[in-house]
Amino acid sequence: MAVAREELQKDLEEVKELLQKATRKRVRDVLVAEKHKLELEIKSQPPPKPKDVAEEEKSSLGGYTVKINSYGWDQSDKFVKIYISLNGVQKLPAENVQVNFTERSFDLLVKNLNGKNYTMTFNNLLKPISVEGSLRKIKTDTVLVMCKKKQEEKWDCLTQVEKESKEKVKSDYDMADPSEGLMNMLRKIYAEGDDETKRTINKAWVESREKQYKGDIPMDI
């Protein structure tokens, strides 16, 4: 965790330096958004543990540690549920699967599964959770982390960072110039689309340009 905090701090310092040098408004807007995102992540990090405790935990882990990036999630009225697939996890002693909760985060540590340790950290959860009411369950090849909602309301995503990223994308399309927003959306669809989608967009673009050159542009009557 200390390493993650240090890396985030280094990223923040570099973004600040770039922000001082940037002159273009769009570039500055992107850097300001990234700076805010990093500050939120650093703020949500748990305080560093005393060195002796951290070293003791590190020395107790055998093998090497793998960061978990793949998961699924859903929710009920009372819980947000995160599903992590780990083959054979049900065969481990219960104490080898640990989850530490705070009001806005949780850390998962799975020790010595097939000679490896697995970790997952979620910081800056979208809404506060109940530490006492949250728990983990071990199922066949799956760890289920259940975060108890403090308020029974729907979550649109898991973290505040995800929410801000979605809002940033939406704001990019919500511009004073509708044509610019439309072009940005088409570029995004083109970049992410399959071959058929790209052919369709290319064809529409060529036909549109040909009409403009010929002056054959529909007019309101």
The alpha helices in the chain, defined as continuous H runs, are 2-21, 25-44, 51-60, 160-173, 178-192, 195-214
Judge whether residue 207 has pLDDT over 80.
no
- For 80-116, write each residue's pLDDT tens digit: 999 999 999 999 999 999 999 999 999 999 999 989 9
pTM passes above 0.75: no
- For 14-62, write each residue's pLDDT tens digit: 878 887 877 878 878 888 888 888 888 877 776 655 544 444 554 456 6
Average pLDDT rounded to a whole number, residues 161-186 = 65
**What are the φ/ψ torsions at residue 143 (nearest 5 degrees)?**
-105, 130
Q: How confident is the model at residue 152 (pLDDT cuts 50, 70, 90)?
A: very high
Judge whether residue 184 has pLDDT over 70.
no
